[in-house]
Amino acid sequence: MIKSKINKLIKNNIYLIILALLVFISVFSTNYFLLYKKNQELKLSNSLENIFFNKTLNEIIKNLKPRFTYEEFRIKEGDTFEKLLRELNVNQNEKDIVISNLSKFKLINKLFKGQNISFRLDNNNPVKIIEISIEQTKTKKYVFYRTDNLNKFEYKEIDKDLRRKVVFKEAEIINSLYSGAINVGIQPNVIIDFARIYGFQIDFQRDIWKNDRFQIIYETFLDANQKVLDTGNILYANLILQGKKNDLYIFKTKDGFEHFDAAGKSIKKSLMKTPINGARLSSSFGMRKHPILGYNKMHRGTDFAAPEGTPIMASGDGKIIRARWCGGGGNCIKIRHNSTYETVYAHLKNFARGIKEGKRVKQGQIIGYVGSTGMSTGPHLHYEVIINGKKVNSQKLKLPSGKILKGKERKLFEVSKIKLNVLKSELISSQN
């Protein structure tokens, strides 16, 4: 009886029951889904906090940065070893260890411009300096390395084994000698040397025309990777000006290597006409309106305009009798060449390394760099030649010519010249 009553009730309300059921299912499933989601989030956050997972993550991040890295520096004006250490990501204790170990070596107090220094770091916490490499010359460096006793450094001297290779280059001068040479891959110091050996006879401003050409044979020194680490002597050079050859050959005399023309005449003169390479003569010797003072004044020197930092050469062998600030002349240098000749170089940006009063210099040696110090309106070199105490026009100077090889020396020179000419044809044919 009761059973049929219930059946009847169900039958009468079937739609209502189905609806209630549907509502229940949908509410339950939504809740269940929210709960599931929450659980999943909790699981994820749990796993993120999990030490093992964190370790793995750290391991991944750490592996992105290699354990050992190099920090390389090229020394600039005013750099000190301490300054380099400050730039490294190491703690103070580490810097102290390095300083206490290396301070007894004078070389860390004698850093020079352009010198390469590198640090090898072990990036395991805390970061440690495990090797310091200090370049002395292109072929020699000192390497300080940390020993097993972690607070000590030992050092070794490394000499690179270099292979000599002679190269031939030829180029047309379109814009300037310098850009023409750079375009065919000639190293800047070779170009400076080239300008030096022609500097006695060629006025680079007036004598070189567009489409003039030059040829050069010089020594290079390569490391095991065929990389040019250094350059040596210019063995042969030929500046072809308006179709006229000007060959120069290297020859060893009792004074060392010198360059001679094809007739055995030394290119060397007592003084150079232009002690700077790539400059433009901007104001010559004589009366002129002074650019700063504004009134007419005798200009007792020659001005060469050149970019700041252009190297200035000693015009002849001699002794530096002044290398200091001289008022209107700014930083200036005076060289006494002999009892007759003296030269002055003014407005320099700075002096070359090791240039000081009392020091002897060789002709062509770099003594300083073009600047605009003192009474000057822009970067230029003011150059003076003084003969017996009197300032003369350097551009009109008749200089005693160089020596001519004679006798046995001349015969040896002729043999050496033939060899260089043969070398030249060999190098040219091997290029083609």
Minimum Å distance from CB 296 to Zn ion?
14
Minimum Å distance from CB 73 to Zn ion?
38
User: Of 290 and 410, which has the nearer Cβ to Zn ion?
Assistant: 290
Cβ neighbours of residue 20 closer than 8 Å, sequence gap 6 or more: none
Cβ neighbours of residue 129 closer than 8 Å, sequence gap 6 or more: 88, 90, 94, 98, 119, 120, 121, 122, 146
Total residues binding Zn ion (CB under 5 A)? 3
φ/ψ of residue 352, rounded to 5: -70, 160
User: Of 201 and 283, which has the nearer Cβ to Zn ion?
Assistant: 283
Minimum Å distance from CB 316 to Zn ion?
20
Query: Which range binds Zn ion by CB under 5 A, 70-78, 95-103, 155-163, 376-384?
Result: 376-384
The yes or no reply on residue 374 touching Zn ion (CB under 5 A) is: no
The yes or no reply on residue 303 touching Zn ion (CB under 5 A) is: yes
Query: Which range binds Zn ion by CB under 5 A, 42-50, 71-79, 301-309, 411-419?
Result: 301-309
- Cα torsion for 385, 388, 393, 396, to the nearest 10°? -110
- Burial label for 79, CB within 10 Å (0-12, 13-18, 19+), is middle
The yes or no reply on residue 301 touching Zn ion (CB under 5 A) is: yes
The yes or no reply on residue 347 touching Zn ion (CB under 5 A) is: no
Q: What is the rounded distance in angstroms from the CA atom of residue 283 to the CA atom of residue 119?
A: 49
The yes or no reply on residue 258 touching Zn ion (CB under 5 A) is: no
Of all residues in the shown chain, the one whose CB is closest to Zn ion is 382
Query: Which range binds Zn ion by CB under 5 A, 27-35, 131-139, 242-250, 297-305?
Result: 297-305
The yes or no reply on residue 382 touching Zn ion (CB under 5 A) is: yes
User: Of 329 and 364, which has the nearer Cβ to Zn ion?
Assistant: 329
CB 115 within 8 A of CB 135: yes
Query: Which range binds Zn ion by CB under 5 A, 26-34, 139-147, 375-383, 410-418?
Result: 375-383
Helices 51-64, 14-49: axis angle to 10 degrees equals 60
Half-sphere exposure of 201 (CA within 13 A, CB side): 17
Where along the sequence are the contacts to Zn ion (CB under 5 A)? Answer: 301, 303, 382
